[in-house]
Amino acid sequence: MAKEIIVPVLGESVTEATVAQWFKAVGDTVAADEPLLELETDKVTLEVPAPVAGQLSEIVAANGVDVEVGALLGRIEEGNGATAQKPAAKAAPATPAKAAPATPAPAPKPAALAADLPLAPAVRKLVEEQGLNPAAIPGTGKDGRLTKEDVLRHLEGGQAPSAPAAEAAPVETRGVEAAPREERVRMSRLRKRVAERLKEAQNTAAMLTTFNEVDMSALKRARTQYRDSFEKKHGVRLGYMSFFVKAAIVALKEIPEVNAQIEGEEIVYKNHYDIGVAVGSPQGLVVPVLRDADRLGFAEVEKEIGAFGARARDGKLTMEELTGGTFTISNGGVFGSLLSTPILNPPQSAILGMHKIQDRPVAIDGKVEVRPMMYLALSYDHRLVDGREAVTFLVRLKECIEDPERILLDL
Amino acid sequence: MSDTAFDLVVIGSGPGGYVAAIRAAQLGLRTACVEKRGPLGGTCLNVGCIPSKALLHSSHHFAMAGQEFAEHGIAFGKLDLDLAAMMARKEKVVDELTKGIAFLFKKNKVTHFTGLGRIDAPGKVAVVEEGGKETALTAKNIVIASGSDVAPLPGVAIDEKKILSSTGALSLPKVPKRLAVIGAGVIGLELGSVWRRLGAEVTVFEYLDRILMPMDGELAKGAKKILTKQGLQFELGVKVTAAKATKQGVEIAFEAAKGGDAKTLVADAVLVAIGRVPYTEGLGLEKAGVATDAKGRVEIDAHFQTNVKGIYAIGDVVRGAMLAHKAEDEGIAVAEILAGQAGHVNYDAIPGVVYTWPEIAAVGKTEEELKAAGVAYKTGKFPFQANSRGRTSGDLEGFVKILADEKTDRVLGVHIIGPAAGELIGEAGLALEFGASAEDIARTCHAHPGYGEAVKEAALAVEGRAIHA
């Protein structure tokens, strides 16, 4: 009995994904719930586990193919037992059942005329063994057919420029033969989505940025003082981020426009504080959301952020964790940025940019002192937030960081 | 490593088995091939394709000498048939080719065991020699390529003297005066042709009301006309109910397939050629738990694996046409799969050839299939009458028919009856594999004069613009 592997529900308003990578080849034995492949959506990459134990008998949607929720990814021949051999990659005309001969390879969205033509035998073997999406390779044959040469050239170009082929080329060929001068890589779905949303923010919002700077002395002191006992009690390091999250909430409560959104003709004020915290991941920037962060203690905030970071690295963040924030904090400081203007995460109205802490001479009570300073940036949507509010927000936040007791006292 | 431990043990050395074994060895698998018959090569080389083609060629020469040489201005005294010499030549061809496989095994380091291959368990094969001596082999994977056997006909017991299977019909000591053939398929028509050319009166009985099922109807009709002209007699739509060996020969009882009066025909010999059945006897399938279907075929998945892990099957013993070249391609595919590569067989582009003269060959869809599937198609036909090479050689019978998608012009099927049709069909197979349009064939330069020009003209005819017709 072949069990179908189906694209799972991906989360709210997400209907499409790209097959990022199959971990298994056709013929491989898989255990139930063992990850079979990785799907890349607008927001996350997620693993699709094996619905049953058995043998992967067919890959319908190869690497790079766009699939919709509910689409067929492949099939597993139920049963167990393991094979010592690795009988690999035999497979699957694209659309199963009907039109077996006519259909080329897995290409739900035929790109060219040639998509209707069968793959030549040598090409079919090659694309399957290499896990390629034939639709993504430009064909130079008659009527746009894919030739073996096309696939081989694609493979060469797709690989990191390795040592020049043994037989190859005169020594002094500068560039042309030695290494490709440029490399074209398909944009990941996440990257594409990030690009779209950032541009959308710039096109929609009346975005501008206000700056301030904050003296981190008090925070540093508090952190040094309580680091060990905090870690001992909560099992998590006391970082700066929890202070900024809590300070931001104090300021958001005071300036509700910053926590609000424009929807059509209306302004929606949010009485909940879901703070997105931008973290880097191998797939790119992702922004998991701390739900109801106003109700979380410092330790809970630190723990959640830590967990997000780990899951982002493993690409295991869920769609729910990445949607629905009301305000975002981005810390470019971890990479050494001294000053930057963050772009809004629509439909949110503001984003806080933290930066690198740097010892700088500052004037304190008429004297020059060296203090650990950080620039703060607040980008905001001027359609909703006026300068006065934005600046007040940032000042309030600054006060809370410079005098953390204020957070406790909600001042 | 022990010399009985292998990565792959192939059971059967027919075209499927020996090719799988060689390909696997090429790919670095330690491979053994177990063959029950003394010489390698299976049915195809020993009692099938090869000896029948040898006899077809010999008998064709004989027929040409008798009927056509005079026209070419070749005169001689009396034409004599030395059947023993013809048979000896056939044996020599078979012997050379089977030894060729033994040589290829040696060259590729495939270990050859003689004996019946019996699967005792997944990974375990016993080689049972004729004397009963057994050798136990271990194998990471097993490929069953045990082939097929003559399908029996109820009421007709084959004795290979008067009541023959194809095996017996390839080795008759003398030309029968009258030969009856049961079954108007490939084997019946080929061996019927052999003995007809050598002088027998041949009557072909067929249950269906047409010959060469499931080939294209028009092709079959054309073939019947030509073969009838050569002296083959056809009794279509009849059921042979019994064949009894008598002192004089064989008495064949038959009646209309739909039911009717019983008739009899007395012949010197009768050839039972109603098809072939998968051969799985003694393989130990039941014990190993390998499932077979209602027709006795070993069930396999898309990667030729049976329901038992590590046991694969290819060729006549599995689903699909019982053709040597289909088995060969499956042998290649299964070996490549076992070596971790991708392996395919495109079952929609497997040619079928009948080696009568003229030859009959086809690849792809028949008109009947296209009609049933509701596919709109165009037809291009060209007769060898108008082919200059055919004129020079005197081979004027037959035609090439190309079926192409009405909209896309993609070639869907090619059907040929004519000189060397079995060779011409290769071009059509390539066209199918590459999704060529009829125009692609028409615009491919074909040498002149050549039989292949008929293919090109038929492709032109798809657009109604054949030059020479």
DSSP code for B437: B
Cα angle B424-B97-B61, degrees, rounded to a multiple of 5: 55
Q: What gap in Å lies between CA A99 and CA A107, rounded to an integer? A: 14
Average pLDDT over residues A199-222: 91
Q: Would you say residue A175 has pLDDT above 50?
A: no
Residue of B nearest to A127 (CA): B342
B302·A121 Cβ contact <8 A: no
Say whether residue B333 is in contact with chain A using an 8 A CB cutoff: yes
Residue of A33, A292, A382, A410 marked catalytic: A382
Reported confidence tier of residue A3, pLDDT bands at 50, 70, 90? confident
Q: Which two tokens stand for residue B298?
A: 């070993």
**CA pseudo-torsion sign B315, B127, B308, B105:** negative
Contacts of B343 in chain A (CB under 8 A): 90, 125
User: Looking at residue B410, what is its pLDDT?
Assistant: 93
Q: What gap in Å lies between CA A19 and CA A216, rounded to an integer? A: 45
Reported confidence tier of residue A180, pLDDT bands at 50, 70, 90? low
Reported confidence tier of residue A192, pLDDT bands at 50, 70, 90? confident
pLDDT digits 0-9 by tens, B99-140: 999 999 999 999 999 999 999 999 999 999 999 999 999 999
What class does CATH assign to B5-150+277-345? alpha beta
The upper half-sphere exposure of residue A146, i.e. CA atoms within 13 Å in the direction of its Cβ, equals 30
Give the domain B163-274 fold: FAD/NAD(P)-binding domain (3.50.50)
Residue of B nearest to A100 (CA): B348
pLDDT above 90 coverage of chain A, percent = 29
Q: What gap in Å lies between CA B321 and CA B299, rounded to an integer? A: 14
Say whether residue B140 is in contact with chain A using an 8 A CB cutoff: yes
Find out whether the peptide bond into B449 is cis, omega within 30 degrees of 0.
yes
User: Looking at residue A67, what is its pLDDT?
Assistant: 86
B301·A118 Cβ contact <8 A: no
Residues of chain B with CATH 3.30.390.30: 349-462
Alpha-helix residue ranges (DSSP H) falling in A83-174:
121-130, 148-158
User: Looking at residue A2, what is its pLDDT?
Assistant: 79
Contacts of B305 in chain A (CB under 8 A): 87
Q: B326 or A101: whose pLDDT is higher? A: B326
User: Looking at residue A177, what is its pLDDT?
Assistant: 45
The answer to whether residue A28 is catalytic is: no
Residues 6+ apart with CB under 8 A from B282: B116, B118, B128
Average pLDDT over residues A340-354: 92
Contacts of B301 in chain A (CB under 8 A): 57, 77
Q: Would you say residue A174 has pLDDT above 70?
A: no
B342·A85 Cβ contact <8 A: no
Reported confidence tier of residue A179, pLDDT bands at 50, 70, 90? low
Q: Would you say residue B186 has pLDDT above 90?
A: yes
Q: Which two tokens stand for residue A177?
A: 């033969």
Q: Would you say residue B306 has pLDDT above 70?
A: yes
Sequence letter at residue B95: D
pLDDT digits 0-9 by tens, A373-401: 999 999 999 999 999 999 999 999 999 99
User: Looking at residue A115, what is its pLDDT?
Assistant: 57
pLDDT digits 0-9 by tens, B354-402: 999 999 999 999 999 999 999 999 999 999 999 999 999 999 999 999 9
A86·B408 Cβ contact <8 A: no
Computed over every residue of chain B, the mean pLDDT equals 96
Reported confidence tier of residue A161, pLDDT bands at 50, 70, 90? very low
B310·A83 Cβ contact <8 A: yes
Interface test mutation site (partner B, options A26, A55, A77, A85, max chain B beta carbons within 10 A):
A85
User: Looking at residue A283, what is its pLDDT?
Assistant: 66
Q: Would you say residue A181 has pLDDT above 80?
A: no
Task: Find the CB nearest A57 among B302, B310, B437.
Answer: B302
Residues of chain B with CATH 3.50.50.60: 5-150+277-345, 163-274
- Contact residues of A toward B, CB < 8 A: 26-27, 55, 57-58, 77, 79, 81, 83-92, 100-101, 116-118, 120-121, 124-125, 128-129, 142-143, 145
In chain A, the domains with their CATH numbers are 2-158 (2.40.50.100), 190-409 (3.30.559.10)
**Global pTM exceeds 0.80:** no
Helix and strand numbers, DSSP H then E, in chain B: 14, 22
**Three-state SS at B210:** coil
Reported confidence tier of residue A334, pLDDT bands at 50, 70, 90? confident
If we measure between CA atoms, which residue out of A187, A189, A196, A191 comes closest to residue A343? A196
- A186 in Cβ contact with A136 (< 8 Å): yes
**Three-state SS at B388:** helix
Interface test mutation site (partner B, options A30, A86, A90, A98, max chain B beta carbons within 10 A):
A90
**Separation in Å, CA A71 to CA A6, A40, A66, B316:** 6, 14, 10, 36
Say whether residue B394 is in contact with chain A using an 8 A CB cutoff: no
Partners of A211 in the beta sheet? A377
Q: What gap in Å lies between CA B315 and CA B304, rounded to an integer? A: 10
Say whether residue B259 is in contact with chain A using an 8 A CB cutoff: no
User: Looking at residue A171, what is its pLDDT?
Assistant: 41
Sequence letter at residue B360: I
Q: Would you say residue A151 has pLDDT above 70?
A: yes
If we measure between CA atoms, which residue out of A344, A360, A363 comes closest to residue A352? A344
- B269 in Cβ contact with B162 (< 8 Å): yes
Average pLDDT over residues A43-54: 81
If we measure between CA atoms, which residue out of B319, B371, B373, B370 comes closest to residue B345? B319
Task: Find the CB nearest B435 among A79, A100, A117.
Answer: A117
Residue burial B284-301, b: 16+ Cβ < 10 Å; e: rest: bbeebebebeeeebbebe
Partners of B119 in the beta sheet? B125
Phi, psi of B76 (to 5 degrees): -150, 170
User: Looking at residue A102, what is its pLDDT?
Assistant: 37
User: Looking at residue B106, what is its pLDDT?
Assistant: 97
pLDDT digits 0-9 by tens, A63-114: 888 888 888 888 888 875 444 333 333 333 333 333 333 333 333 333 344 5
Q: Which two tokens stand for residue B81?
A: 């048939």
B337·A120 Cβ contact <8 A: no
Residue B238: CB atoms within 10 A of its CB come to 20
Q: Mind giving me the DSSP string for B77-135?
A: S-----HHHHHHHHHHHHHHHHHHHHHHHHHHT-EEEESEEEEEETTEEEEE-TTS-EE
**Three-state SS letters, B368-391:** HHHHHHCCCEEEEEEEHHHCHHHH
If we measure between CA atoms, which residue out of B36, B9, B51 comes closest to residue B288? B9
Q: What gap in Å lies between CA A56 and CA B226, rounded to an integer? A: 51
Q: A394 or A22: whose pLDDT is higher? A: A394
Residues 6+ apart with CB under 8 A from A72: A4, A5, A6, A60, A61, A96
Place of tokens 């009959």: B360
Q: Mind giving me the DSSP string for B238-294?
A: EEEEEEEE-SSSEEEEEEETT----EEEEESEEEE-S-EEE--TTS-HHHHT--B-T
Sequence letter at residue A388: R
Q: What gap in Å lies between CA A108 and CA A163, rounded to an integer? A: 36
Residue of B nearest to A101 (CA): B348
- A105 in Cβ contact with A43 (< 8 Å): no
Q: Which residues of B are catalytic?
A: 448
User: Looking at residue A6, what is its pLDDT?
Assistant: 85
pLDDT above 70 coverage of chain B, percent = 100
Average pLDDT over residues B407-415: 94
B349-462 is classed in which CATH architecture?
Answer: 2-Layer Sandwich (3.30)
Strands (E) across A239-344 are located at: 260-263, 266-269, 275-277, 279-281, 284-286, 289-290, 327-331
If we measure between CA atoms, which residue out of B45, B40, B9, B11 comes closest to residue B25? B9
Q: What gap in Å lies between CA B47 and CA B167, rounded to an integer? A: 5
A101·B408 Cβ contact <8 A: no
Reported confidence tier of residue A188, pLDDT bands at 50, 70, 90? confident
User: Looking at residue B157, what is its pLDDT?
Assistant: 93
Residues 6+ apart with CB under 8 A from A409: none
Say whether residue B376 is in contact with chain A using an 8 A CB cutoff: no
Computed over every residue of chain A, the mean pLDDT equals 80
Q: Which two tokens stand for residue B97?
A: 């080719």
Q: Is B84 exposed, middle or buried (0-12, 13-18, 19+ CB in 10 A)?
A: exposed
Say whether residue B320 is in contact with chain A using an 8 A CB cutoff: no
User: Looking at residue A165, what is its pLDDT?
Assistant: 39
